[in-house]
């Protein structure tokens, strides 16, 4: 008979629809092996202050797979290797508290941690693995920018929400002969903008991987007008950049791992369109709506498959790896390998080409 394990799970970084489904799958797969499972609250905070550790039972996770967010809470500011702590003079300084995390992990006699997160959280997991913690990663992000896996959970839900919003914008844009510029998330990757823009029949899609020229965008809108289409939908990724320019950031907002909060490019693009073409334009930012609510069936199933595969990886002793979709299979990829890859939209890939074939302008 295999060893009765005592494992724990945490969720780190921005939330993504499907986190609760991973928690449910890990809990159930462990329970069905007669293992004990504990949830660490707020990323690694629960391993610094161990009051934040809760036992996970089938009753506690019953039905949570369909609920958005994470019952464990999350943070994108909780890196134990660089924790902001007030010193004696009251000034905030960065301290390495990773040894305290290791001590608590060992004292509580955990056999393994399932770390669910994006590249920032999985980088932390990899550093703990180097210190001797048996860790299995589960990749999550709505941005879909994690290497080593075809897709991360949360992405499909975000794209569905953005597509539905774009669908709704068509009728109001058409009624007013307006240009609606909609900003979607994705950080420095344009996957959400690309997939929702093509699916939502956008006229223009602007993504970080293809720097745009605002004149090309205006040419497209004027050309549409000549052909009788007086309204337009422009989908812009929050990280899109004009040729020779930089990203637009929200001044004064405090970010997580990358210390800047992107936002404002839609307003800028809408303003330029009005200034250059005289067309009435409006901008809107979908923001965190894209991360809220129930995961799509695709994300729910992927999250459940990821969670169960993480437990199998623990059983097989395959640590310092993350579960990944390499269709149609769930496989294990070394964290070191996955973290080396920066996944971005390929400007020469078939999805961008599909957009071009449909007549969508990418601003280049």
Residues forming contacts to ligand F6P in the complex (CB under 6 A) are 14, 76, 118, 141-143, 185-187, 238, 256, 261-262, 291
DSSP 8-state symbol, 289: G
Q: How far is the CB of 294 from ligand F6P (least distance, A)?
A: 17
Q: State which residue, 293 or 315, has the beta carbon closest to ligand F6P.
A: 293
Q: How many CB atoms lie within 10 A of CB 81?
A: 16
Between 220 and 291, CB nearer to ligand F6P: 291
> Closest approach of Cβ 115 to ligand F6P, in Å?
16
Return the structure tokens found at 316.
């097989």
Is 12 or 134 the residue whose CB approaches ligand F6P more closely?
A: 12
Of 143 and 320, the one with the shorter C-beta distance to ligand F6P is 143
Does the annotation mark 143 as catalytic?
A: yes
Residue 345 in tokens: 């939209």
Judge whether 68 and 17 are in contact, CB under 8 Å.
yes
Residue 126, number of CB atoms within 10 A of its CB:
20
User: Quick one: which of 42, 111, 113, 55 has its CA closest to 83?
Assistant: 42
For 323, phi then psi, to 5°, come to -75, 150
Kind and range of the H or E run holding 270: helix 265-277
Q: How far is the CB of 144 from ligand F6P (least distance, A)?
A: 10
Contact 190, 347 (CB under 8 A): no
What is the distance, to the nearest Å, from the Cα of residue 117 to the centroid of all Cα atoms in its chain?
9
Q: Which of 143, 145, 299, 320 is catalytic?
A: 143
User: Please, which residue, 134 or 186, has the CB nearer to ligand F6P?
Assistant: 186
Q: Which of these, 32, 11, 12, 102, lies nearest to 311 by C-alpha position?
A: 32
Residue number, 20 or 188, with CB nearest to ligand F6P: 188
Taking CA atoms, 331 is separated from 148, 216, 306, 327, in Å, by: 10, 43, 9, 9
Identify which of residues 118 and 295 has a Cβ nearer to ligand F6P in the complex: 118
Strand order in the sheet with 281-285: 204-206, 232-237, 179-184, 281-285
> What is the C-alpha separation between 133 and 130, in angstroms, rounded?
7
Q: How far is the CB of 22 from ligand F6P (least distance, A)?
A: 16
**Shortest distance (Å) from residue 357 CB to ligand F6P:** 28
CB of 288 to ligand F6P, least distance (A): 6
Q: Which burial class, exposed, middle or buried, applies to 278 when counting CB atoms under 10 A from its CB (0-12, 13-18, 19+)? A: exposed
Distances (CA, A) of 97 to 41, 51, 80, 178: 17, 17, 5, 53
Helix (H) / strand (E) containing 137: strand 135-139
Q: Give the residue at shortest CB distance from ligand F6P.
A: 185
Minimum distance, C-beta of residue 51 to ligand F6P, in the bound complex (Å): 25
Which phi and psi angles does 82 have, rounded to 5°?
-145, 65
Which residues are annotated as catalytic? 143
């Amino acid at each position: 008979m295999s060893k009765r394990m005592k494992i724990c799970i945490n969720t780190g970084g921005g939330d993504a629809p499907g986190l609760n489904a991973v928690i449910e799958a890990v809990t159930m797969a462990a329970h069905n092996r007669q293992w004990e499972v504990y949830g660490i609250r707020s990323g690694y905070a629960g391993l610094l202050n161990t009051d934040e550790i809760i036992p996970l039972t089938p009753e506690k996770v019953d039905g949570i797979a369909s609920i958005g967010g994470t019952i464990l809470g999350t943070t994108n500011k909780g890196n134990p290797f660089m924790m902001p702590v007030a010193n004696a003079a009251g000034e905030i300084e960065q301290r390495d508290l990773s040894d305290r995390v290791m001590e608590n992990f060992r004292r509580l006699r955990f056999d393994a941690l399932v770390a669910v997160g994006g590249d920032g959280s999985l980088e932390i997991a990899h550093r703990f693995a180097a210190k001797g913690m048996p860790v299995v990663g589960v990749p999550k992000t709505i941005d879909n920018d994690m290497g080593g896996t075809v897709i991360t959970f949360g992405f499909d839900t975000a794209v569905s929400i953005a597509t539905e919003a774009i669908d709704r914008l068509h009728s109001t844009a058409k009624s007013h002969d307006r240009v609606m510029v909609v900003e979607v998330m994705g950080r420095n990757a344009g996957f959400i903008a690309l997939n929702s823009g093509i699916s939502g029949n956008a006229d223009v899609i602007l993504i970080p991987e293809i720097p745009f020229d605002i004149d090309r965008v205006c040419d497209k809108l004027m050309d549409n007008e000549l052909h009788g289409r007086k309204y337009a939908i422009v989908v812009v990724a929050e990280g899109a950049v004009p040729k020779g320019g930089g990203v637009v950031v929200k001044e004064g907002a405090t970010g997580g791992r990358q210390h800047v909060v992107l936002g404002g490019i839609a307003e800028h693009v809408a303003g330029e369109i009005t200034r250059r073409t005289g067309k009435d334009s409006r901008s809107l930012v979908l923001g965190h709506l894209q991360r809220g609510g129930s995961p799509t069936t695709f994300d729910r199933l992927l999250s459940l498959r990821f969670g169960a595969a993480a437990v199998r990886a623990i059983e097989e002793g395959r640590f310092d790896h993350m579960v990944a979709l390499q269709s149609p299979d769930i496989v294990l990829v070394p964290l070191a390998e996955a973290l080396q890859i920066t996944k971005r939209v390929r400007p020469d890939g078939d999805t961008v080409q599909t957009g071009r074939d449909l007549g969508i302008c990418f601003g280049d």
